Chains A and B, each alone.
Chain A
């Protein structure tokens, strides 16, 4: 017998999870407090739709601002650190050491400085997403094929031309990977921050429903965050795939060091 394709199995698994989600509490195998049935969760979501929508709006607003900060600052610093040898030698090892520090312990500092409104979430999530964007931009610029630059220079390209015609196109794929990781991290950062100390947003809704033990509403919020992050990831991957053609064009094969790959693969804690 031929085994079903992995793709089909994946969809079956997802369907099975949904069925189990509905069946377990219905059959009384799991208390409804711990796992409300899927149908109840959806009903809760629909009934409280305006509340969830306004919370989603707050969260999205914070995520977008934080992404702008993380991407802007990350690309700028990453380009400097990747492009200038002195800065790279001084800072890159320092940044990878700092990566070990759980940034979440700084969140109380952010709330003390910026209050418990959106500002502290944006600042925190911006800091959260900054590192992957910066590190992958630096790696992207560092691994550009020297020969492309050499060719451009020998044909008399000026420095601005080298930047716009060679460096930027050749580093875009790596930078995009960083933007995807950084974007996922800013979503995580905003949600974590909202769950810890906040008065608005989906993370706050989840936490406040948790304290009154209203499980269907908790799960509805969780479901929304899951959908949001999966949608973002799918969109970011689609953009990345479209630029994949450039990836092999301007890249030094095998030359990129282990450290570059490690920083690119650096996943997001929490």
Chain B
């Protein structure tokens, strides 16, 4: 099937989902209290976006996200590169990292609250903590994706350390690192949201959770649509860069 055909099918499905969202509550098949029709949710999205309180909450969440990202990504990359370059160090820590992955990070939230309170610092600390492991793992995968033959060829032709770094390491690692960036962004976003939903006075996650508790379903769904759209746009942007960069690899 052609590309255009596939895209057409996707849009048709999207339209069907949206139509069902509108019609099921309107026709009374689904309780409109539980699933407000789309035509109620979309104006609500405009409405909440116009509220200063929501602006403020989005600002706080975005700042938490940004600071946590700036902490977790460089630190995680450094540890990851170190553990890939130093075999002994890697052998010690890699198996431990695998276990850390399967552990719910959110269970440590109470400790972050005990140490940092429930303010900005706690959100940043928790989000950075929940992100750093995936950064470590992806960074060491990025180093391992550098082909030994490429290094050998570069060295045999007398490349300096600097040339090896800029001509071999960076081009081979960039696509993998971009993917790491993308996944760590997803983790970081989830981390901020969970921390805000768990205990917070502000932030968009806290708003969503309180809309849910107060049964304000149109606001809740509008918030969910907003966050989902933002997440998807970010994700697709980095993916686009990724596909552009992977041209270098082959």
Contact = CB atoms under 8 A, between A and B. Distances in A.
Contact of A222 (B107, B137, B189, B231): B107
A109 B191 contact: no
Given A233-B99, A269-B191, A112 B212 contact: yes
A90 to B, nearest CB: 5
A242 B137 CA distance: 25
Interface string B175-209: 00001000100110111011001100000010011
Interface stretch (B5-13, B68-76, B164-172): B5-13
Given A105-B208, A112-B215, A222 B111 contact: yes
A254 interface: no
A226 B227 contact: no
A13 interface: yes
Interface in B109-146: 109-111, 113-115, 130, 134, 137, 141
A117 interface: no
Contact of A3 (B88, B96, B217): B88
A102 B217 CA distance: 18
A165 interface: no
Interface string A201-213: 0010011011001
Interface string A11-40: 001000000000000000000011000000
A111 interface: yes
Nearest to A225: B107
Nearest to B98: A233
Interface residues of A, number: 61
A192 B197 CA distance: 10
Contact of B130 (A86, A215, A270): A270
Interface residues of B, number: 62
A215 to B, nearest CB: 7
Interface stretch (A70-78, A140-148, A183-191): A183-191
Interface string A113-134: 1000000000000000000000
A218 B189 CA distance: 25
Contact of A106 (B109, B114, B224): B224
Contacts, number: 162
| Residue in B96, B106, B212 whose Cβ sees the most chain A Cβ within 10 Å | B106
Nearest to B188: A269
A213 B115 CA distance: 12
Contacts of B13: 90
Given A187-B104, A191-B104, A230-B102, A269 B198 contact: no
Nearest to B235: A100
Nearest to B34: A113
Given A104-B193, A105-B223, A267-B134, A203 B107 contact: yes
Interface of A: 3, 6, 9-10, 13, 33-34, 85-86, 89-90, 94, 97-102, 104-109, 111-113, 180, 184, 187-188, 191-192, 195-197, 203, 206-207, 209-210, 213, 215, 218-219, 221-222, 225-226, 229-230, 232-233, 258, 262, 265-270
21 contacts: A90-B6, A100-B186, A101-B228, A104-B193, A105-B228, A108-B211, A112-B212, A112-B217, A191-B104, A192-B194, A196-B198, A206-B110, A207-B198, A218-B114, A221-B107, A222-B107, A233-B99, A267-B137, A268-B101, A269-B191, A270-B130
Given A215-B114, A270-B190, A270-B194, 4 more contacts: A100-B186, A112-B215, A209-B110, A268-B101
